[in-house]
Structure 1
Amino acid sequence: MSDQVKSITENQYDSTLSESDVVLVRFWAPWCPPCMMMQPMYKKAAKDIGDKALLSEMNLDHSPNIARKLGIRSIPTVVAFKNGEEVQRHTGLLNERGLVDLVNSI
């Protein structure tokens, strides 16, 4: 695993969920101000979380079908998966501490 955020597309979604026991997927778009505010916090959290989880992100403008499948209606939304199954979801701005706490609670 890496301390970097992995940008994924719909084609990479399923394989990304199997790359780690715990995977976070941040759904965002470049026209969303809270999404843009959250981006540096998400990257910093990836460094703090390290090997505990894989942090990934999906741009809804390029990959709307997964968001539709998961029922994502507002962004930013972070969905946490454990062993490929959704275990938690947070809609709205989530700071670095909140992201670390989210991973530690799984």
Structure 2
Amino acid sequence: MAVLHTNAASFDKVINQDVPVLVDFWAPWCGPCRMLGPVLEEVEKDVAGKAIVAKVNVDEEADLASKFNIASIPTMIIFKKGQGVDRASGYMPKEKIVELIKAHIQAD
């Protein structure tokens, strides 16, 4: 599987999974967001089958960004069964993101 690009129409379906879902709120003009993109591709490979990695473009989905109080980007939120359970802002190395996700894979 690859990193999912989601929008308002598919968002609820994406976050209501039996596995943790990391959603990256980003924008194409954001330098740290662009740096994070390839890192999230690697993260997705590491957690494939155990978690889902998705992205939301805040320029195209302002209502979603507002709903989740996204004040700065990139912001990543981990959802479990549709509920936001953890969040992190700013660029993070792959290892830290994988750690963040794995904490919620075991926390069932």
- Asked if 1:75 corresponds to 2:107, the answer is no
Give the equivalent residue in structure 2 for 1:102: 100
Look up the SS of the partner of 1:105 in the other structure: helix
The code of the aligned residue for 1:37 comes to M
Task: Give the Cα–Cα distance (whole angstroms) in 2 for the partners of residues 20 and 35 of structure 1.
Answer: 27
Return the alpha-carbon distance in structure 2 between the equivalents of residues 31 and 59 of structure 1. 10
- 1:39 and 2:33 aligned: no
Q: Which residue matches 1:88?
A: 86
| Partner Cα separation in structure 2 for residue 53 and residue 21 of structure 1 | 5
TM-aligned CA deviation for residue 88 of structure 1: 0.3
TM-score, scaled to structure 1:
0.94
RMSD across aligned positions (CA): 0.9
Q: What percent identity do the matched residue pairs reach?
A: 35
After the TM superposition, which parts of structure 1 deviate over 3 Å for at least 4 consecutive aligned residues? none
Displacement of 1:20: 3.7
Match of 2:22 among 24, 29, 54: 24
Equivalent pairs counted in the alignment come to 104
CA distance in 2, matches of 1:8, 1:83: 16
The alignment's TM-score, normalised by the length of structure 2, stands at 0.92
SS at match of 1:51: coil
Instruction: Give the drift of 1:35.
Output: 0.2
Q: Equivalent residue for 1:5?
A: 3
SS at match of 1:52: coil
Is the Cα–Cα contact under 8 Å of residues 42 and 95 in structure 1 kept in the other structure? no
* Unaligned residue ranges in structure 1 (runs of 5+): none
* Counterpart Cα distance in 2 of 1:9 and 1:17: 11
Distance in structure 2 (CA, Å) of the matches to 1:99 and 1:74: 17
